[in-house]
Every structure is written in structure tokens, then in C-alpha cells.
Copies of this chain bind each other. A is one copy, B any other.
Amino acid sequence: MKPKSNIKGVAKAAGVSPMTVSRYFNHPNKLSPESLERVEAAVKTLNYVPNNAARTLLRGNSGTLAFIGHVAHHFDYTILRGIEDHVYECNYLLFLCNADSARKKERHFITGLLKQRVDGIILNPSYNRDNLLVLAEHHVPTVVVDPKLPDIPFDVVRGDSYEAGYDLTKTLLGKGFKRIAFIGGPKGVTSLEQRLGGYTTAMKEASATPITQLGDYSRESGFNITTQLFSSRSPKIDCLIAANGLVARGILMALNTLGLNHPNDVAVAAFDATEEYFGLETPLAANMVQPAYDLGQCATQLLIERIQGFDGPPREKVLPFKLVTF
């Protein structure tokens, strides 16, 4: 019968006490060279891997983090990559929890993660305040990226949506466009309202009339709104701002169908239109992009500070958008 692959078995094989083996993994510098060597050999022959469950039980933390969100667009995945890379550097493992913006699914994940004694959570879109409260009650360090709701009792990382809306509109006005419409995106979502605010302000400053047609973030939304917009009235609209890349795609399809040419008849600009969405033939008039990867990295950074004991009031990191061309 071969010895069990636990700390005791290794200790016996190495001729030392279990504590020495434990120290081999946790404070190897506190061991004599001889002990070090003997334990190393025993570990190798027994193929021993420490059992994190025992450690978690004892210490109350598991060495794991989690991302709860709704990875639907390329933008979300880029945030996730930023998180992943930083999590990796900090030697944690990451749970991926795609809650699909469904309250029940999100709750399911939260419960599961609490059971696992996850050390911290990065939360992307959540429209549900009560799920956030559960996290607060259990004192799980939590950081929210790109929040959909205002007044959240956690650290928050987001893009500067107001400024982005303002700057994008200014840019377009500067290019000579006069009748600029804002298309798509869900009503009531903080970041979108802020972009809209920036757009509206910039338009008014230019004595232009804001034209907004909200919807959601889908291609269909862009397609339908555009189709309606150009068939109901005979608008003098010369530029459309898409709420995101998918909406832009829908807009382009609609213009195509309508026999209108981008950029000659109507120019299309967008927020967060990532490289993957656009071909060579139709560069956008302008494209204001959130630093998605940085958002992820920054969120992870804040989270780890919390885990390491930072106990100040909720922080808010606001990162600037970038004007991107391709």
C-alpha cells in the first residue's frame, strides 16, 4: 500500500514532521538546506500536491476571485481579458460566471461563490440592487466595472461616458456635420445616459437640436431605428452616432437597404466599435472607445487592495475614452 499523498505521507517519506513539509511550501527560507532537500525529494516521488481545501478551511480564504458579468460583446471580453491577466499575475484563480444579466442566474453564482469562500468579486452589468446587497452583507470584497446603476456601495471603475459623448459630438461637429442623431442603447443605464448627456450638451452649445432614438445594444435595434427614422420623415440628418458597434452594424445595414451611402449621404460614428466589427470598406466617421482592457486591470487592482485590507470608503476610478480610427 503506497502512502497517502498528504502532508503526513510526505513527512514520513522525508523523515521529518508534517510541519516541516508545510513550511517547505509556505516559508521555505526557514528550513535547513537538508530538510529542504529531503522534502523536495519526497514531494517529487509521491507526486504530492497540497490540498487547498484544508488551507481554505483554516484561513477562511481560498485564493480565488470571480468575475460575474454578461460577456456578450467583444467589449465585455476585453474587460475580462484585462481582469484575467491581472488575476494571473497576482496568483489567484478566476471563476467565470456569465450571469447573462439574469437576476436569478446572478444570484445562483453569488451563492455558489460564497460557499467557495471566494476572496473577491468583480461585477460587471448588474441591474439588481438586491444581489449587490447580498454581497455587502457577507463582506465579500467587490468591485463593479461599468455599472449600470448609480449609487453603488462598492469601488467602481468606469469610462468617462459624459466626456466621451461630449468629445465625440464635438469632433463630429468639427468635421462639419450639423444634424447629428444618437441611435440605440438602453434607457436608464447610467453610462448611456451620461453619453447622451455629453452629446446633448455639445449639440446645444452648437445651437443644434439633439435627436435621440434609444433602443438597446443590438444590431436589430440599429437597423430598425434607422429604417424608421429615414422613412417616417424626410430628415436632414447627416450623421448618426451608434451606441455601440453592433448598433453601428445595424445602421450600416439599414442605410444599405435604404440606398443611402455612408459616408457620403449619411456618416456613421460609434462608441465602442471594435476592430472585429468593421471592414475595410466602411471606416467610421469617428469611433469613441472605452479602454476596456484597462477597466479590467484597474478593477482587479482595486479588488486586490481591498482583499489586502484597504478599508476606505468606496472609490471611483474614471478612465478616459479614446478616439480610435482604422
Interface string of A99-120 (1 = CB under 8 A from B): 0000001001101111111000
In angstroms, Cα B54 to Cα A94, docked, is 20
Kindly provide the distance from the CB of A278 to the nearest chain B CB, expressed in whole angstroms. Answer: 7
Bound CA span A94–B105, Å = 14
> By the criterion CB–CB under 8 Å, are B97 and A93 in contact?
yes
In the assembled complex, A49 has its CB within 8 A of some CB on chain B: yes
Give the contacting residue for A57; candidates B53, B276, B282; CB below 8 A: B53
Selected interface stretch from A159-167, A199-207, A248-256? A248-256
Chain B residue numbers with a CB within 8 Å of A71 are: 77
Q: A95 is contacted by which of B53, B93, B114 (Cβ under 8 Å)?
A: B93
Q: Does A176 contact B (CB under 8 A)?
A: no
Docked Cα-Cα span, A126 to B282, in Å, equals 37
Interface residues of A in 179-204 (CB under 8 A from B): none
Given A57-B57, A252-B280: A116 in contact with B47 (beta carbons within 8 A): no
Contact B138 A47 (CB under 8 A): yes
- A74 at interface (Cβ–Cβ under 8 A)? yes
A113 partner residues in chain B, CB cutoff 8 A: 93
Partner of A117, one of B53, B81, B112: B53
Cross-chain contact A111 with B49 (CB below 8 angstroms): yes
From residue A142, how far is it (CB to closest CB) to chain B in Å?
15
CB contact list, A110-135 vs B, under 8 A: 111-117
Q: Is the CB of A52 within 8 A of B280?
A: no
Residues from chain B with Cβ under 8 Å of A63 in the complex: 112, 116
Give Cα distance in the complex from A117 to B50, angstroms.
9
Q: Does A35 contact B (CB under 8 A)?
A: no
What residues of chain B lie closer than 8 Å to A112, measured between beta carbons?
Answer: 63, 93
Give the interface size class of chain A.
Answer: 35 or more
Chain B residues whose CB sits within 8 angstroms of the CB of A277 once the complex forms: 276
Residue of A50, A96, A252 with most chain B CB atoms under a 10 A cut-off: A96
Within the assembled complex, what's the spacing in Å between the Cα atoms of A108 and B95?
Answer: 16
- Which one, B77, B115, B249, contacts A51 given CB within 8 A? B115
Binary B-proximity of A47-81 (CB < 8 A = 1, otherwise 0): 10111111011000011100100010010010011
A114 & B49 in contact (Cβ 8 Å cutoff): yes
When distances are taken between beta carbons in the complex, the residues of chain B under 8 Å from A137 are 47
A279 lies within 8 A of chain B by Cβ: yes
Of B50, B51, B84, which one neighbours A98 at CB under 8 angstroms?
B84
Interface string of A270-305 (1 = CB under 8 A from B): 000000111111100000000000000000000000
The closest CB in chain B to the CB of A50 belongs to: B115
Partner of A62, one of B53, B80, B105, B114: B53
Q: Is the CB of A116 within 8 A of B64?
A: yes
Residues on B with beta carbons closer than 8 Å to the beta carbon of A95: 64, 93-96
Q: Does A310 contact B (CB under 8 A)?
A: no
Which of B77, B93, B97 meets A77, CB within 8 Å? B77
Interface residues as binary, A212-256 with B (CB distance below 8 Å gives 1, 0 otherwise): 000000000000000000000000000000000000010011001
The 6 residue pairs across chains A and B that have the minimum distance between CB atoms: A53-B56, A96-B96, A52-B115, A53-B57, A49-B114, A279-B279
